[in-house]
Structure 1
Amino acid sequence: MIKKSILENGIRVITERIPYASSVSIGIWVANGSRHERRELNGVAHFIEHLLFKGTERRSALDIAREIDSVGGVLNAFTSREYVCYYAKVLDKFLPNAVDLLTDIFLHSTFDPEEIEKERRVVLQEINMMEDTPDDLIHDIFHQQFWMGHPLGMSILGDAESVGGLTRDAIVGYKEHMYRGDDIIVSAAGNLTHEELVSLVEQHLHVLPSGSGRVETALPVYERRLEIAEKDLEQVHVCLGLKGVQQNAPERYDAFILNTILGGSMSSRLFQEVREKSGLAYSVYSYLASHADAGSLVVYAGASPENSEELLDILLRELRRFKEEPVTLCQLDAARDQLKGNLLLSLESSDNRMSRLAKNEIYFGAPLLLTDIMAGFDAVSSQSIQALANNILDNSALTLVMLGRVNPSQFVPAQINV
């Protein structure tokens, strides 16, 4: 059963009790991410995520690590374009310990200048590591190109210049301004009671101010772009993207199924055509990147330079098929069953349930019933997928990024169409 309470300062506490579970997963979510940063502060949300584990008034970084290890738990965090999450997973009897630890780092991190400089070097190495990993780097370049001129295009990590310029005052000031009650969600799933968690959260987080620090950004604009990034690599990495759907779009179920058929699994069209039949690539897949107000459908593959032209032809052809011909009932049913199965299997994990609670609150303002989700998948038809394809597979919004030893003369921009 899912329950929700709102504290006096606006913090939302949402729980799902799983009485047969032996664990509890709890997360403190802040509905601010990299898209809410000023450009000169790009990377600050991710930097703060790192710094909160570097010591508080009561605990050193080592104390924090030892405390979660001593109960066999997990403590971690992640940053996205629209939120940051600090979470723990522990045995149910250690829930008070987890709340105490999470709220301590959330409220009382010291931001010691020496630790800031140490962690700055760590984050810069993380940026360098991505630069040295082309199959990660290309996605960052793609998003910069696809959302060019919009905050969604900024890197979650930031870059060497922006991270290098973050002062302690700027970091602390950003946290104080952005970590406010109306933008904070505490979600938990497992063998717990809602009332116990509300009491624990209120005891610790009542000191946070109410209100919101988030500044809403303008709607992004879709444009056509071709970017060739030359780099001495063994492969040419390709990212091809078009319009997607926003998180709460009514057509999201059609988009999920379209993506699954396109490149969401080993039985998908792209995997079968590019890898199994043609042997052109080891890695090929597609994904949806959906946000509060926009989204993208992205295809990725990597091939040898001499095969990159053939690879691109196949990617474009498989996208074009969705506009030109309805998917078969067999493909539709298989994709529908795959997505339903993935969802049901994910519900066996308390941390997945905890994440679903928070994300549904961020994007829908309420939990999504499992019956409604299944009904959404059941309502998808071959005709509705084709209608969506003809809407989002728009050449005026097509972005192509190629990274590696690319011969630009091989690719005529006017001929790159779906």
Structure 2
Amino acid sequence: MPWHLPLAAAGEPGADLTAGQDGATIRRTVLPGGVRVLTEQMPGLRSATVGAWVGVGSRDETDGHFGSTHFLEHLLFKGTHRRTALDIAEAFDAVGGEANASTGKEHTCYYARVLDADLPMAVDVIGDMVTSARLDADELETERGVILEELAMTDDDPSDVAHEQFSLAVLGTHPLGRPIGGTADTIGAVPRAAVWDHYRTHYEPGTLVVAAAGGVDHDQLCDLVVHALSEGGWALEEAHAPRERRDGAATTDGIPAQGEVRTIDRPVEQANIVVGGTGLAATDDRRWALSVLNAALGGGMSSRLFQEIREKRGLAYTTYSFAAGYGGLGTFGLYAGCAPAKAEQVEKLLVDELERLAAGGITAAELERSVGQLRGGLVLGLEDSGSRMSRLGRAELVYGELYSVAESLERISAVTRQDVLALAQELAGRPRSVVRVGPFGKD
């Protein structure tokens, strides 16, 4: 029978929960200090991926702290009171492991993939980084230059610029509209004191989720986490509750009431066009219908955008639709890269396909094909420990429940043509923004 694991409310310590699927065992425990630990033990796997998810992202930054979240992602690798930056790098290289981190709008994740026998080392190093980063002033200034180069690299990619400007156009001054990595101005201006304050405010037991998948023993991981965090000075003795999950009814303050048109001049060979507006929140029950809609409209080679713009007319090499969901809000858009002389035609085709979907929905054949695409992609995407670890972390921080593969497949299969039509009509009727990046001239 399909199952889903309803995770305890973030504000409640809860009890140890166990459930199994596909030969794997999933367990969740809330440690006394409020740290949540989730594991998926995958029989026969000799590797494991572990991630420390901190429930803070760019949307949580306040005035004077903008860019701090991304800064911390870099600085935690630059040394602790027990390890230098070289020590951290050598620890993973010496065992053939991989370590990295990512910053999002609502969370930051530090993760590593190692052999199962090296999991204690990985937990110890990542725990040390999360609890005991030095944020050395000289290292901070060095890394400031690295981040500025990273932002410059992004600014040199016109498709990245188009998507970033799309978020700004659709979300306006809402905290979710800010660039995840910060801007050259905010990174250049943020002082060490602000980064340190951001670190001490948000990196604490109640915001931390440790997720691991692969060759991992749940009870052993809990012991390793307690030891590593205690070594870093975190108090885990008292029964503190985790921080509450984000409110699904987040404020829409700052989001423009009307769509916006932005044209950014860049001396490049292609025009990059994004059209769209607000979408669905991450926890919206209609996210299953949105995934089907997205697949049919611009999710593959058989999608409407690909067939109409690339295959039939030869106007673009890359075209697709996309959706992103956050706490209380989301975005939905369509993208194409084309010759500047064809930009107006391609922009119209993007809009036409969205409105055609809203007018007539999808066919039975499109529904069947999109469901099949999503079902296959879901299963294939969970073939490695890293993707399963990420699924655990997001389930805990965002959804508050974890669906089995079987139930997820059922949810996708249950989407109807009417579900897709109703959602397409709603999305097409919302304020629409257009972003163009290319050699359009200063005017």
What band does the TM-score fall into relative to the shorter chain? over 0.9
For the pair 1:398 / 2:432, whether they are aligned, the reply is yes
Q: Which runs of 5+ in 2 are unaligned?
A: 1-24
- AA partner of residue 124 (structure 2): D
Q: 1:18 aligns with which of 38, 42, 52?
A: 42
**Structure 1 portions without partners, runs of 5+:** 410-418
Looking at structure 2, the residues matched to 7 and 315 of structure 1 have their Cα atoms a distance apart, in angstroms, of: 49
1:269 to 298, 304, 309: 304
The amino acid of 2:224's aligned partner reads L
Within 2, Cα distance between the matches of 1:62 and 1:408?
Answer: 46
Query: Which amino acid in structure 2 is aligned with residue 239 of structure 1?
Result: V
Q: How does 1:291-310 map to 2 (within 5 A)?
A: 291-310=326-345
Aligned equivalent of 1:413: none
Asked if the contact 2:246–2:327 (Cα under 8 Å) also holds between the matched residues in 1, the reply is no
Moved over 4 A (4+): 209-217
> Residue 305 of structure 2 contacts residue 350 of structure 2 at CA under 8 Å; is this kept in 1?
yes
Shift in Å, 1:227: 1.4
Aligned residue for 2:209?
185
Maintained 8 Å contact 2:279/2:427: yes
Residues 103 and 180, structure 2, Cα contact 8 Å, conserved in 1: yes
Spell out, residue by residue over 1:121-179, the C-alpha distance to the aligned partner (whole angstroms, 9 max, x if none).
00011111111111111111111111101001111111122111222211111100011
Rounded to whole Å, the distance in 2 between the matches of 1:214 and 1:316 is 36
Q: Is the 8 Å Cα contact of residues 277 and 331 (structure 2) preserved in structure 1?
A: yes
Question: Counterpart in 1 of 2:156?
Answer: 132
* Secondary structure at the counterpart of residue 403 of structure 1: strand
CA contact (8 A) 2:64 2:194 kept: no
Compare the two structures and name the one with the higher helix fraction: 1
Note the aligned Cα RMSD (angstroms). Answer: 1.8
Q: 1:199 aligns with which of 220, 223, 231?
A: 223
How far apart in 1 are the matches of 2:40 and 2:169?
39
Is the 1:289–1:298 Cα contact (8 Å) retained in structure 2? no
Separation (CA, whole Å) in 2 of partners of 1:113 and 1:40: 18
Contact map agreement 2:301 2:307 (CA 8 A) in 1: yes
Q: Give the C-alpha shift of residue 222 in structure 1.
A: 5.4
Q: CA deviation at 1:233?
A: 2.5
Q: Give the Å deviation of 1:214.
A: 9.4
Aligned residue number for residue 162 of structure 1? 186
Following superposition, the deviation at residue 366 of structure 1 comes to 2.4
Q: Does the C-alpha gap of structure 1 residues 54 and 214 become closer, same or farther in structure 2, counting only changes over 3 Å?
A: farther
Structure 2 SS opposite 1:155: coil
Q: After superposition, what is the alpha-carbon deviation per residue over 1:338-367, rounded to whole angstroms, capped at 9, x for unaligned?
A: 111111112210000000001011122122
**Residue 73 of structure 2 corresponds to residue 49 of structure 1:** yes
TM-score (norm 1): 0.94
Equivalent in 99, 114, 117 of residue 93 of structure 1: 117
AA of the residue aligned to 1:54 = K
The one-letter amino acid paired with 1:235 is Q
Residue number in structure 2 paired with 1:62: 86
Counterpart contact for 2:361–2:424, Cα < 8 Å: no
Contact 1:181/1:208 (<8 A) preserved? yes
Give the TM-score normalised by structure 2: 0.88
Q: Which amino acid is 1:219 matched to?
A: T
1:142 paired with 2:177, answer no
For each residue in 1:315-356, what CA deviation from the matched residue of structure 2 results, as whole angstroms up to 9, or x when unmatched?
011111111113111111111111111111122100000000
Q: Is 1:235 matched with 2:270?
A: yes
Counterpart code for 2:109: C
Aligned residues: 408
* 1:408–1:111 CA distance, 2 compared to 1 (3 A): closer
75-84 or 129-138, larger mean C-alpha shift: 129-138
Distance 1:317 1:303 in 2: 17
